[in-house]
Structure 1
Amino acid sequence: MRKLYYASFAYMAVGVASGLFYREFTKLNGFPEGQFTQLGLAHTHLLTLGTIFGLIFLLTEKAFSLSGSKMFDWFFWTWNAGVVLTSAMLIWHGSLTVLGLESTKMIAGVAGMGHMLLTAAFILFFLMLGKALKQREVPATEDVAASLSL
């Protein structure tokens, strides 16, 4: 559970720092205000996919003890790899845009891999959650018997 807390906290710090980098890097390089760059997307990806989802995972862990699952470590590291890879490519691509340099297809491909890792992590998360919910379900006959014994 602490791993999720520390990861969420780290993404909050890096997400806020990336917003500061976005603002200052564009000013420093005379990039026109309001013109699109992927630097702003890195800020929101880190804060949403890292911090907010990390806190959601933490609350879900608290309620269902998902870390007991054999899939938990796969989920945790796949999620982290996806967030880091996606955000790094957004920062790289956004920095090239601000500097007036050409981007390459490799950047888009690696960012796509980051999104695929995030998709895999979400699938693992829902598999773990579904299994935990199924284990908590009470068969209907026991439920009826319990209500009649009142």
Structure 2
Amino acid sequence: MRMILNTAHVYMILGVVSGLYYRELTKANDFTGETQLSTVHTHLLALGMVFFLIVLALEKLFALTSHRLFRWFFWIYNAGLTVTVGMMTLHGTLTVLGHESGAAIAGIAGLGHILLTAGLILLFITLTKLIPAKSKADQPSAP
């Protein structure tokens, strides 16, 4: 459980710092246009901190870490979020500095999204294995 809490905490710090980076970089360069930097902090706070706080609650209820797929979910999801946010930061920084980002950055960001999706699939498989299905005895009978 401590690992999940620490992960949420790290994403909270990164989310706050990325918001500061966005504000200061755009101010220093007198940039007023659209940039992906404006959503990096939101991605880190929502897909990082809030998401892992929810996973922490699910761990408390269903002992997610006891299942063999949990570690796979944890590392794949974190890799996906790191790659995605890293590419958003790079693309946004290049935009503010007046440079083109190119197709490679978009392609790598796409790989980050694929990893995020794979991580989410693993989480749902883990949840499906750990949350028992309702038995027929638990279901209400028809009138």
Q: Deviations over 1:7-36 (max 9, x none)?
A: 00000000010000000000001102xx21
Task: Name the CA distance, whole Å, in 2 between partners of 1:139 and 1:107.
Answer: 49
Residue 123 of structure 1 deviates from its aligned partner by 0.4
Q: Taking structure 2 as the reference length, what is the TM-score of the superposition?
A: 0.93
| Larger CA Rg, structure 1 vs 2 | 1
Partner of 2:106: 108
Task: State the shift of 1:2 in Å.
Answer: 1.0
Aligned residue among 113, 135, 140 for 1:139:
135
Gaps of 5+ in 1: 145-150
**What amino acid is the match of 1:36?**
E
Per the alignment, residue 24 of structure 1 pairs with: 24
Q: Which residue identity is paired with 2:14?
A: V
Equivalent residue of 1:140, what SS? coil
Aligned residues, how many?
139
Find the counterpart in structure 2 of residue 65 from structure 1: 63
Aligned partner of 1:96 in structure 2 is: 94
Distance 1:138 1:41, change over 3 A: closer
- C-alpha distance in structure 1 between counterparts of 2:95 and 2:110, whole Å: 18
Q: Which whole-Å CA distance do the structure 2 matches of 1:61 and 1:69 have between them?
A: 11
Tell me the CA shift for residue 140 of structure 1: 2.9
2:6 aligned with 1:6: yes
Contiguous gaps of at least 5 residues in structure 2: none
Residues of 2 paired with 1:88 and 1:17: CA distance? 13
Correspondence for 1:15: 15
Identity of aligned residues (%): 50
